[in-house]
Amino acid sequence: MPLFFSMCVALATILSAPAKPAPPSVVRPAPTIKAVPMTKKLIAFTFDDGPNRRYTPRVVELLKQNHAHATFFVIGQEVVRYPDVIQMLRNAGMEVGNHGLHHKYLRNIPAAAVKEDVTGGADAIVAAGGAKPYLYRLPAALSDDTSRQVLGQLKYTIISWSVDTRDWRRGQTPERIAKIVMRDAAPGRIVIMHDGPAHREATMHAISQVLPALEAQGYRIVSVGELLRSSDFAAQRDIPPKPAPVAKPPAAKSRPHSRGWLQSIWPRRIS
């Protein structure tokens, strides 16, 4: 009887004890991608520090002329200034990545400050009509354990580069930029250039040289997302599928103008 009583007391104690909280799930730091191993002749082009009303549309036009796509890592405060450029990028089938709200260096700052700048950049993109970004580019490539952990919690993949054009340097020439790209180009590599906010004429001229030259060598210039989806990396991380193209509104039917037949057939000016 005493043994039975002791067992009952022990069982009652176990049942009445508060349940232990489940251990927290392990959050992995955000991975960093500089290039993607592959044999396909794909190369990703990226443009930082936009959007810029002067240069970003010119980059997009050059990409379209050469059947190319790219990823634009935009700064949130510039997105707020030029939200229409984000919509233009989306309509052109370009990919938009996060470069922070204020281009803040994510090293030796508190986790809360990291999260504020990263989420602020993403919120600006979404508010301007862009898709929620899942790719992040570190300003100046600076990070530490804290920032990588925060970016991992936010489900980002950090995109670095393997072809550094250094087009931001004062005095850099289009010929030098183009030479770097053509020398270092290889399947799966990621090229970094800039479309804002400073003077980018050298970059514009270099793009017009390297895009047709790479296409002539059999390369296809793609966004980072397409590069990742064309590799095994997509199976390792939650890479979103390619977004559907934005549907164009149906063209309005023209109606005869009551003030004369010439005005009824004259094409309207599109602003």
Catalytic residue among 48, 49, 117, 167: 48
Catalytic residue among 49, 167, 194, 195: 194
Residue 26: pLDDT band (50, 70, 90) is confident
Question: Tell me, what's the pLDDT at 68?
Answer: 98
121 pLDDT higher than 70 = yes
Question: Tell me, what's the pLDDT at 250?
Answer: 55
Q: Count CA within 13 A, CB hemisphere, residue 222.
A: 21
Domains of the chain are 32-236 (3.20.20.370)
Nearest CA to 239 out of 253, 249, 225 is that of 225
Q: d(Cα 223, Cα 143) in Å, to the nearest integer?
A: 23
Residue 80's SS3 state is helix
Residue 265 Cα distances to 243, 249, 253, 259, 260, angstroms? 38, 22, 12, 12, 9
Q: Which residue has the higher pLDDT, 24 or 263?
A: 24
**Region 193-213: what's the mean pLDDT?**
96
Specify whether the CB–CB gap between 57 and 195 falls below 8 A: no
The answer to whether residue 48 is catalytic is yes
Instruction: Enumerate residues 6+ apart whose C-beta is below 8 A from 152.
Output: 27, 28, 29, 30
**Region 98-115: what's the mean pLDDT?**
98
Mean pLDDT of the chain: 86
Question: Tell me, what's the pLDDT at 19?
Answer: 54
Question: Tell me, what's the pLDDT at 6?
Answer: 58
**Region 8-33: what's the mean pLDDT?**
65
**Region 132-160: what's the mean pLDDT?**
97
The answer to whether residue 184 is catalytic is no
Question: Tell me, what's the pLDDT at 265?
Answer: 32
Specify whether the CB–CB gap between 159 and 97 falls below 8 A: yes
